[in-house]
Amino acid sequence: MLFVDGLSVYARYLHGDGVIVSDVSFCVGDGQSLAIVGESGSGKSMIVDALVGVLADNCYATGRIVLDGDDILKNPRALKRKLGRSVAFIPQGASESLNPSLKVKTQIYEAFSRSGLKLNRDEKRAYTLYNLKKVGLEDESVLEKYPFEISGGQAQRVVLAIALCSKPSLIVADEATRGIDADTAEVFLKCVKEEFCGSAKIFVTHDMNLAKTCDKMLVLKDGNQMEYGFAEDILVAPENEYTKTLLQRTVQND
């Protein structure tokens, strides 16, 4: 379970500290999914950066982020141990998140090592091909390519295959379907929900249609929490005017 209480994110500037995210609270239980929604600049990705410990050097977070009993803001070493094992991070722009100087197979094999799996060479290859097929990649030649030699959709599937190397209790997907075609996005989301059905899942998105498929929803605007609760309740009877506007835009675009 992930429990976030009073999370705020600040940036240090020459004239003083500025608030980017202010006093956000939510929780995601095992098997539950949470959509964090809002327009660009609402603070969605800053929350993710705090969750996975990749805030910029001039930023810091306060509050509590408790994952499986560990407060990872107070104990960043605990988070470092969890990343790649009990925490899987699927970033936006998968191509950029992969190491351009390493072949795809090398990066997947490294994921096995991080997750603690002890496999010989043949087992690594077999398990890798198995995971790639799960995410819709049948072409074995992908393994011998570098990230810049594959498409954005293929890179997104490779990142998901890397996540499949572990047994995480928390999945964090930051705009993971942005910039890829609808078919690839559908396969991606289906795979995440099926393969990690028992994990807590966070989908950071501007897509309200994706948010509708989640158990819970957190609505952000300008770094402030506008609304939080069960997605069904919010979709049927949103209390905040900003949430109503987002929903109206979704209806108009459908």
Cβ atoms of 2 and 32 closer than 8 Å: no
pLDDT score, position 253: 55
Q: Is the pLDDT of residue 251 over 60?
A: no
Q: Find which of 33-42, 74-83, 163-172 is predicted with most confidence, using mean pLDDT.
A: 33-42
Angle between the 182-195 and 152-163 helix axes, to the nearest 10 degrees?
0
Angle between the 121-134 and 104-115 helix axes, to the nearest 10 degrees?
100
Q: What is the pLDDT of residues 49-69, one digit of tens each?
A: 999 998 999 999 999 999 988
Q: Is the pLDDT of residue 246 over 90?
A: no
Q: Is the pLDDT of residue 230 over 70?
A: yes
CA distance 176 to 91: 6
CA distance 52 to 47: 9
- Give how far Cα 99 sits from Cα of 108, 182, 239, Å: 11, 25, 44
The set of residues, in sequence order, having a beta carbon less than 8 Å from that of 60 and lying 6+ positions away, is 9, 10, 12
Sorting pLDDT into bands at 50, 70 and 90, what band is 250?
Answer: low
Q: Which residues pair with 72 in a beta bridge?
A: none
Q: What is the pLDDT of residues 195-225, one digit of tens each?
A: 888 999 999 988 777 888 899 999 999 999 9
E strand or H helix that includes residue 250: helix 241-253
Lowest average pLDDT, out of 165-174, 197-206, 242-251, goes to 242-251
For residues 61-78, average pLDDT: 91
Q: What is the pTM of this model?
A: 0.85
Instruction: Kindly state the percentage of the chain with pLDDT values over 90.
Output: 47
- Radius of gyration over alpha carbons of the chain, in Å? 18
pLDDT score, position 58: 95
Q: What is the pLDDT of residues 32-53, one digit of tens each?
A: 999 999 888 899 989 999 999 9
Sorting pLDDT into bands at 50, 70 and 90, what band is 90?
Answer: confident
Q: What is the pLDDT of residues 143-162, one digit of tens each?
A: 999 999 998 888 888 888 88
Structure token digits, residue 239: 């209390």
CA distance 113 to 99: 16
pLDDT score, position 211: 87
Q: Is the pLDDT of residue 20 over 90?
A: yes
CA distance 197 to 62: 30
Closest CA to 157 of 97, 214, 70: 97
pLDDT score, position 121: 87
The set of residues, in sequence order, having a beta carbon less than 8 Å from that of 171 and lying 6+ positions away, is 88, 90, 163, 192, 196, 199, 200, 201, 202
